[in-house]
Structure 1
Amino acid sequence: MNLASVVALAVVGAIVVGVALATRPRGTSTLDFYLAGRRVGVLTNAWAICGDYFSAASFLGVAAAVYVSGLDGAWYAVGFAAGFVPLLLFVAAPLRRFGEFSIPDFLARRLGSERVRLVAVAVVQLVILSYLIPQSVGAGITWQLLVGQGILGLRPYETGVLISTAVVAVVVVLGGMRGTTWNQAVQFLVLLAALVWLAAVVIGEGFRYGDAIDSLGAEPLANPTEEDGRWRLEPERSQIDPDAPATFGEPGSRYGALGQFALVVTLALGTAGLPHVLNRYFTSPTGKAARVTTVWVLGLAGTFYALAVMLGTAARALVPGAVDEHPWLAGLTVDGVLRVPEHALPVLGRIYGGDAGLGVIAAGALVAVMSTIAGLLLASAATWGHDVYERHINPRATQRQAVQAGRTATVVAAGAAAVLALVIHPDAFTTSMPSMVATMVTWAFAVAGSAFTPVFILAIWWRGTTAAGAEAGMVTGAVLAVVMFTTGNAVEPWVLEEVLVTPTVVAAPVAAAVTVLVSRRTAAPPDVDEAFVRMHGTAADRRAERLARLTVGERGRRGRRFFGMRGPRARR
């Protein structure tokens, strides 16, 4: 057992629970529990969005992808960061100005349909579940790799799944959005500090990124493969030029030209449709604050992913030379190349910081998992508690009952994710498990980008969007993404496999087209002009619109008094 890792994780856990207790909402309103009273500052919200978004797939996965495939791995960083551009340009400010609780709430109010709300709830839960399971699995793998010891008779993997899920559930139940926001902000700073520390150490030891790229690109790229219990290095072939070997600094080691484009589109559009990210914009005090928050997120994401790409390259360049000095590396490498790419950052941390360095990376990895799980659980609670319980099961619920429903939904979602993560035990998938986790995360991006992003942007920017069109678009996008992704993972490799496994490049345009076609044959909601003033008007426009509503309402009341009609009698 790595004592430094255990101490680091214990400290992080204590801080997380302490922040949740210190920042728990004083009241019992749904506005406080789900949206922190819409009083979250710009910088705090930006840190929290980063903590919400930068999962283990970002912290360990991007560096691993760069380590194993060079330039092709950097496309993950590009796609993850690029998703905040459409959020900045098309979504953040209008979404906040409209001012609802969740994605289903926004679509239901914008399009005047409760059926749209229920369809959106189903898609939200599909995205959250497909994102939540790999995060719980990642927590178990992280504990197993970096701590290596279970408690109370549990195996290490099971211990990691249960402890991380339980801690996060407690944080969300106690703190609601306010406590989760501050926790995610603190967790992101821990995550970023771990990357900055490791980058500073390797640069201080003489690593130079440009020199490393030149050196690594001078020879063919090869990675370990296992056959009949024996490991060997297998050269990679270029997917762009099959007659040439792949190299670290050139595209083509993992994806052809079409596959690279499809991957970036899937990740970028998926980011713009992730429920747990979009829900954070409802917590901003104003539309301008939401837009400025996104600018900060873009800058922080660029810094984070630049460091991850650099450290993946550093691991590829530095680990071979450290094998002789650190005998423990012999069991993790084949001719100086790591067998498991996800070990890149932990190995660098141990090489340059010993057990304490490994503890820092352990804390960062588990923090990344826990922060993302918190956001997912809160998004799930908002849809079940507000959009299902308050709107359909118990419309007369008190604020206390509504908040309790959200807390119950949090516990149920956490338990379901933990159970499914325990069922998907990594012992039977020792070598394939990291790629399975990454695949499941990509699938969540594919569903979100195909089902939500096109419908969401049309609802915000096209007056003609109707409830029937949105329903048809969401169902089409979700079903097409699932069918393509499942097919792509089942068939033998062929020319279109890369598009099938990253299907948003096809599914999103089809979903948008279906939304438009069905909307043109159905009636738009009657209050579309009012909705557009709320989303896109200036502050003066919105004040004028509210004043007009009040004036019309006052005239109606005066008319009823003049004719002697009051309240219910006027309708008899």
Structure 2
Amino acid sequence: MTGSAALALAAALALVATVAVVMRPRGASTVDFYLAGQRVGVATNAFAICGDYFSAASFLGVAAAVYATGLDGAWYAVGFAAGFVPVLLFVAAPLRRFGEFSIPDFLGRRLGSETVRLVAVGVVQLVILSYLVPQTVGSGITWELLVGEGVLGLDPYATGILASTAVVTVLVAFGGMRGTTWTQAVQFLLLLGALVWLAATVVAEGFHYGEAVESISSVPLDNPAGSTDGLTPEQSALHPGEPAVFGEPGARYGGLGQFALIVTLAMGTAGLPHVMNRYFTSPTGTAARTTTVWVLCLAGIFYSLAVMLGTAARDLIPAAVADRPWLAELTVDGVLRVPEHALPVLGRIFGEDAGLGVVAAGALVAVLSTIAGLLLAAAASWGHDVYERHINPRATQRQAVLAGRVTTLVTACAAAGLGLAMRPESFAAATPSIVATMVTWAFAVAGSALTPVFVLAIWWRRTTAAGAVAGMVAGLVVAVGMFTAGALTSGGLLREVLVTPTLLAAPVAVVTAVVVSRRTTPPADVERSWQTMHGTAADRRAERIARLMLAERRAARRWRRARR
């Protein structure tokens, strides 16, 4: 790693660490540790949610999927961004009004059942682990390209995984939700800044998106075939026997497969624990909804840039190989062996080693930010929902926070271990982007097992504890079963649907939950819960108090300025 690249990475990490230390929680209460005292403003929370959500799959994975499969890769961007539409319409405000610490906490109190809480904890942990693993893989890939050297006898890939996991675990355990919120907000701004800089640079060098798509689409789409030395032409899934083209759908998915992918990503968002937990930190339901509007706007900007840069990499990298010997090791006939290298390679082409450092720092920041949110969600789930309620109901606030910190360590070790076992080269020939594809698994579990029950509990009075448990189990079993079958299927339409199972698994979960709920008794306090979630005088009073507090702060600032 050159001095300029090391400097860019060190500066980014130093900034993040400083923010975590300065903004750490001052008290030892669980509300401070898990929810930042429920005083996070709209803009700050929106930036933090983006830092949570725009992970390695978004920064590296979307551009990589577009680079490898053209228009089919852009469906990842569509699905990731569209996921916040149902959150805005159906989840954000009612969830915040009801309150609590986590999804299992919400379901347990809403349905009056500890069984629901514990089943939800199990599903949440599976989602968290499924989401954590691709983040660790992304950190290994980035370290491998940026540093290229390992420590203590480890190879660069393993070193990247262990180093990034260790750093973020310490920051989360030390900073809690308050420190993590501000670090994630700063991390998102760094991430967006890296994308904007790279996009502005390639445009200034003469890149035109429309012309590039037309040029790339004039020849068949080829990709490296695993570990071989040649390129393999992609066959169109929509037009059998014809070659795939960059600017047309079908390079990886057929029509049903494309639809199933978007549904899986869009529905999965509302069940992601690390994202939904952030809504509990908003002061009011209205603030939670406004935050989601901000996130939708930021997501549109972010993913538009990612798609454009994936296209730019496919167009510009082949011509750069002749003048840059270092590219020969990363490419086969001008095509990158690892699609996730697309953005870092573009950064080095147009910014030399400093440019590589900026982009790689952005990628590692994306990884650290998302891992932080996931570890906090795991801590809330185990520390609050299991330890405080079942293992040690008489725990002090300090003991409960300590349990959350221990949970972050255990979860991080499990994710790092799985990441070390999943080498990118093992999946290169089967997926457009290993990082984006692996994250899709987490979205599928969340969208199949959690989101259907979650939405029913918010919008259907008749939902019961037995129905929720049956729905979560049914959705999880169908999703995992389809995944397993998809892994054993060679290809074609059947495999496309099996590896994106929410299109089938979510309706199964809904039907199961409704049928069982119809045969069982709903909670006794369902009307009170309904009024709390969907707007009450108390909520409006809380919003008025929040506005008055904000007005008082502004008046106090004006008074202090006038005194100077």
* Range into which the TM-score falls when normalised by the shorter chain: over 0.9
- Alignment match, 1:318: 316
- Alignment match, 1:176: 176
Letter in 1 for 2:279: Y
Q: What stretches of structure 1 of length at least 5 have no aligned partner? A: 545-572
With over 3 angstroms needed to count, the CA separation of the structure-2 counterparts of 1:316 and 1:275, relative to structure 1, is: same
- Alignment match, 1:550: none
CA positional deviation for 1:428: 6.7
With over 3 angstroms needed to count, the CA separation of the structure-2 counterparts of 1:251 and 1:374, relative to structure 1, is: same
- Alignment match, 2:237: 239
- Alignment match, 2:382: 384
Maintained 8 Å contact 2:431/2:437: no
2:93 and 2:23 map into 1 onto residues whose CA distance is: 26
Alpha-carbon displacement from aligned partner over 1:526-572 (angstroms, at most 9, x marks no partner): 1111001100024367779xxxxxxxxxxxxxxxxxxxxxxxxxxxx
Moved over 6 A (4+): 427-434, 541-544
Query: Which residue, 459, 473, 483 being the options, matches 1:475?
Result: 473
With over 3 angstroms needed to count, the CA separation of the structure-2 counterparts of 1:538 and 1:519, relative to structure 1, is: same
Aligned length: 542
Letter in 1 for 2:102: S
With over 3 angstroms needed to count, the CA separation of the structure-2 counterparts of 1:26 and 1:67, relative to structure 1, is: same
TM-score between both structures, scaled by the size of structure 2: 0.93
Query: Which residue, 354, 372, 380 being the options, matches 2:352?
Result: 354
- Alignment match, 2:203: 203
2:432 and 2:224 map into 1 onto residues whose CA distance is: 15
Maintained 8 Å contact 2:93/2:289: yes
- Alignment match, 1:328: 326
Alpha-carbon displacement from aligned partner over 1:474-502 (angstroms, at most 9, x marks no partner): 01111110010111111222432111000
Letter in 2 for 1:361: V
Secondary structure in 2 aligned to 1:396?
coil
Letter in 2 for 1:203: V
CA positional deviation for 1:472: 0.3
- Alignment match, 2:551: none
- Alignment match, 1:294: 292
| 1:71 lines up with 2:71 in the alignment | yes
Secondary structure in 2 aligned to 1:321?
helix
- Alignment match, 1:103: 103
Maintained 8 Å contact 1:17/1:167: no
Alpha-carbon displacement from aligned partner over 1:209-232 (angstroms, at most 9, x marks no partner): 111112222222222225xx6522
| 1:266 lines up with 2:275 in the alignment | no
Q: Answer with 1 or 2: which has the greater Rg.
A: 1
- Alignment match, 1:42: 42
2:88 and 2:425 map into 1 onto residues whose CA distance is: 42
1:195 and 1:219 map into 2 onto residues whose CA distance is: 28
Alpha-carbon displacement from aligned partner over 1:48-82 (angstroms, at most 9, x marks no partner): 00000111111011111111111111000000000
1:378 and 1:263 map into 2 onto residues whose CA distance is: 28
- Within 5 A, what are the aligned runs for 1:334-349? 334-349=332-347
With over 3 angstroms needed to count, the CA separation of the structure-2 counterparts of 1:511 and 1:389, relative to structure 1, is: same
- Alignment match, 1:6: 6
- Alignment match, 1:252: 250
Letter in 1 for 2:117: R
Secondary structure in 2 aligned to 1:363?
helix
CA positional deviation for 1:432: 7.0
CA RMSD after TM alignment: 1.8
1:26 and 1:503 map into 2 onto residues whose CA distance is: 44
Secondary structure in 1 aligned to 2:462?
coil
TM-score between both structures, scaled by the size of structure 1: 0.92
Maintained 8 Å contact 2:223/2:233: yes
Letter in 2 for 1:252: G
CA positional deviation for 1:371: 0.6
1:21 and 1:510 map into 2 onto residues whose CA distance is: 46
Maintained 8 Å contact 1:128/1:444: yes
Maintained 8 Å contact 1:13/1:167: no
* Identical amino acids, percent of aligned pairs: 74
With over 3 angstroms needed to count, the CA separation of the structure-2 counterparts of 1:155 and 1:222, relative to structure 1, is: closer
CA positional deviation for 1:19: 1.2
Please identify, of 128-137 and 456-465, the stretch whose mean Cα deviation from structure 2 is larger. 128-137
Secondary structure in 1 aligned to 2:223?
strand
Please identify, of 434-443 and 3-12, the stretch whose mean Cα deviation from structure 2 is larger. 434-443
With over 3 angstroms needed to count, the CA separation of the structure-2 counterparts of 1:428 and 1:87, relative to structure 1, is: closer
Query: Which residue, 525, 528, 532 being the options, matches 1:527?
Result: 525
- Alignment match, 2:216: 216
Query: Which residue, 288, 304, 307 being the options, matches 1:306?
Result: 304
1:488 and 1:417 map into 2 onto residues whose CA distance is: 23
Query: Which residue, 403, 406, 430 being the options, matches 1:405?
Result: 403
1:171 and 1:262 map into 2 onto residues whose CA distance is: 37
Maintained 8 Å contact 1:83/1:267: yes
Alpha-carbon displacement from aligned partner over 1:506-526 (angstroms, at most 9, x marks no partner): 000110000000000000101
